[in-house]
Amino acid sequence: MELKEVQYILAIAECGSLSKAAQHLYVAQSSLSQFLKNYEAQSGYTLFIRTPQGLKPTCEGALYIHTARQIMRMQNNLNNQLMELSGLQRGKVCFSLSSFRSPYLLPLVLPAFRRKYPNVEVAITEAHMARQERLLAEGRADVAFLSLPLENQEIPYLKVIEEEIFLAAPDGHPITAQARRNPATGRMWIDYPTMNGQDFLLYSINHRLSTFSDRIFTEYHIAPKIIQTHDSFETLIRLTEVGMGLTFIPETYIDNRHSLSYFSIGETGQFRTLVLGYPPVGYLSKATRAFSNMVIDMLQEQHRALDAKLKEGSHIGH
């Protein structure tokens, strides 16, 4: 079992189709198809079967995939320990985060990390939270950016910040006149009944913020007028800017480019815990620890800066 063969089989298992796996591996689909055909013939076992939902592993394939993941985990641990010998002159960090968060976090962290550790590679995998947890459990990610609660209770994590989720309103929206200031935090806030009957732009189902909005509306008996749901966070923000309605936005997604006002939801606000998750077993390299420390430090600094701005007023942006 060669390492290249292991990588090919794992890519097919992860992608569920030869075409997607070929794109992931940067090889021709015909070459990958021929590889799988030859490999199954040589081993004497069928590893995958075709179903309407894509390629699924057979019993033999599932055993192969389990063993292959153990091999890759051992290979990654070995590479990390070898690179430790050179300190942080060399190294690699496999970092996973959601595609929603990627445009906001990566430009903040990657340039600073590269300046400080120019020879440490950061490999990025964008994935939804369930897949991120699988990547950690299988040792295919060194660190992942997650929010509590985690489905896999065996994943260790470090707390980053308590992130507030705000109500975002366009300039001149009538709801802004009903905001009040919390003397303890200095932030402007909107009472729950005030949101009743308002036009809302929301996230599509299967997103954590969709679950959040459903909980808020149910718990506080709010009946919104849902104007639009969308998978694209940037689209929702743009539609909010032009006056289509209100939306919810986590504080780490707030950008000075967007001309919006932000309000705490209720007098004490609504929060979620952001964490960095790690593999349940395996070697945590110096590079991973250094990258984690930079993510935590920079987001905590951003958190303090935003807090200071919001004490001056609810409007942020041009």
CA-to-CA separations, 258 to 121, 169, 173, 187, 230, in angstroms, rounded: 32, 11, 15, 19, 18
Predicted pLDDT at 317: 47
Count CB-CB contacts under 10 A for residue 96. Answer: 24
Over residues 263-305, the pLDDT tens digits come to 999 999 999 999 999 998 777 888 999 999 999 999 999 999 8
- pLDDT score of 228: 80
CATH code for 161-273+312-316?
Answer: 3.40.190.290
Could you give the CA distance from residue 221 to residue 294 in angstroms, rounded to a whole number? 41
Q: What angle do CA 139, 144, 146 make, to 5 degrees?
A: 130
Average predicted confidence (pLDDT) for the chain: 88
Report the pLDDT value the prediction gives residue 85, as an integer from 0 to 100.
61
What's the pLDDT score for residue 28? Answer: 92
pTM of the full predicted structure? 0.76
Q: Which residues have CB under 8 Å from 13's CB, separation 6+?
A: 48, 55, 57, 61, 65
CA 46, 51, 53, 59 dihedral sign is negative
Predicted local distance difference test score (pLDDT) of residue 258: 73
pLDDT at residue 318 tops 50: no
Find the mean pLDDT for residues 39-64. 90
Helices marked H in 224-285: 233-241
Strands 157-170 and 270-277: antiparallel
From the candidate CATH numbers 1.10.3470.10, 3.40.50.300, 3.30.70.20, 1.10.10.10, the one assigned to the domain spanning 1-85? 1.10.10.10
- Mean pLDDT to the nearest integer, 119-140: 90
Angle, CA of 156, 159 and 165, to the nearest 5°: 125
Q: Are 163 and 101 in contact (CB under 8 A)?
A: no
| Close Cβ partners of 149 (under 8 Å, ≥ 6 residues apart) | none
pLDDT class for 316, splitting at 50, 70, 90? low
Residues of the chain with CATH 1.10.10.10: 1-85
User: How large a percentage of the chain has pLDDT more than 90?
Assistant: 54
Lowest pLDDT segment from 5-9, 84-88, 236-240, 286-290:
84-88
| Cα–Cα dist 108/35, whole Å | 41
Cis? peptide before 149, omega within 30° of 0? yes
The yes-or-no verdict on residue 199 having pLDDT over 60 is yes
- The mean per-residue pLDDT over the stretch 194-201 comes to 95
User: In 83-237, which ranges are E strands?
Assistant: 91-97, 120-126, 143-147, 157-170, 180-181, 188-190, 199-203, 225-230
CB 288 within 8 A of CB 93: yes
Residues of the chain with CATH 3.40.190.290: 161-273+312-316
Residue where the block lists tokens 């990547």: 135
